[in-house]
Amino acid sequence: MRTIMVINAKGGSGKSTIATNLASYYACKGNKVTLVDYDPQGSSLAWLKVRPSINRPRIQCIDGTSATVNPGRGTGYMIMDAPASVHGKDLNNLVRHARTFIIPVLPSPMDMRAAADYIREIRATRLISAKKGKICLVANRGRDRTRIFWELDEFLDRLREPYIAALSDNINYVRAVDKGLGIFEMAPAATALLRAEWQPLIKWLASKASQP
């Protein structure tokens, strides 16, 4: 079973968006998927509540803040949505649940600074310092041709962890949340470019490089 956590200390960086879209992607590919929400805000749980129960692949849901995390037999992917602002001992305990980590970063000077600090904190956790987990970086809500986006691009390129994908700022992500869907379940014509942007991340997640 693959265990993938989307994590960043900054609120609003796209953790729940990436976690829910990834869960929907793997479910659509025929995998048994569990989505674990460790955030008391419960954004991923809310997404699952509005998810259509017919004509869409089922995704198992676990509230990581209260329940014991026990995915069903045959689960292929356990996708975890982390809360913002987890540090110190709590961070050490949280990261123990996964072996692969996706860190989304927004094109904003404050988010970039905070991400650099947080990546250092994650590197220092027992799990990552013992080389038992792999991290990748994803630029989120990019707007092409904006200077701050290129600054984010260069910033992520300079970090030690692999910078794998850049996702656009697009209204279809907001629409998908409303419907309990992922962009891979929406009209292909409207989401073709967005889907293409996910391919490097999906490829990395399928590769040995993403597994310790």
Ligand X SMILES: Nc1ncnc2c1ncn2[C@@H]1O[C@H](COP(=O)(O)OP(=O)(O)OP(=O)(O)O)[C@@H](O)[C@H]1O
What are the start-end ranges of the H helices in the chain? 15-28, 43-50, 88-95, 109-123, 126-129, 147-158, 171-179, 188-206
In the chain, DSSP finds a helix count (H) and a strand count (E) of 8, 7
CA–CA separation, 212 and 8 (whole Å): 20
Distance in Å, CB of 74 to ligand X, minimum: 28
- Complex with Mg ion: residue 32 or 139, whichever CB lies closer: 139
Q: What amino acid is encoded at 203 in this protein?
A: K
Positive or negative CA dihedral for 46, 165, 143, 181?
Answer: negative
Q: Which is nearer to ligand X, 156 or 167 (CB)?
A: 167
Cα–Cα distance measured from residue 171 to residue 64, given in angstroms and rounded to the nearest whole number:
28
Q: Which is nearer to ligand X, 121 or 169 (CB)?
A: 169
Question: From the CB of 45, what's the least distance to ligand X, in Å?
Answer: 12
Residue nearest to Mg ion (CB): 16
What span, in angstroms and rounded, lies between the C-alpha atoms of 51 and 29? 17
Give the largest CA-CA distance in the chain. 47
Nearest-approach distance from CB 189 to Mg ion, in angstroms = 28
Instruction: Please choose which of Mg ion, ligand X, none residue 141 contacts, taking the beta carbon within 5 to 8 angstroms, the exact cut-off set by kind.
Output: ligand X
Note the residues at the interface with Mg ion (CB under 5 A): 15-16, 43
Q: Using the minimum distance from each CB to ligand X, give the nearer residue, 32 or 186.
A: 186
Please say which residue, 28 or 84, places its beta carbon nearer to ligand X: 84
Give me the least distance between CB of 207 and Mg ion, in Å please. Answer: 26
Q: Which is nearer to Mg ion, 67 or 193 (CB)?
A: 67
For the chain, percent helix, then strand, then coil, each to nearest 5?
Answer: 45, 20, 35
Instruction: Using CB under 6 A, list all residues that contact ligand X.
Output: 11-17, 39, 41, 43, 84, 140-141, 167, 169-170, 173-174, 177
Beta carbon of residue 174, minimum distance to ligand X (angstroms, whole number):
4
Binding-site partner at residue 149 among Mg ion, ligand X, none, CB < 5 to 8 Å by type: none
With CB under 5 to 8 Å by kind, the binding choice for 14 among Mg ion, ligand X, none is ligand X
- The minimum distance between CB 43 and ligand X, in angstroms, equals 5
Of 205, 207, 194, 152, the closest CA to residue 33 belongs to 205
Q: Which residue has the tokens 């198992």?
A: 60
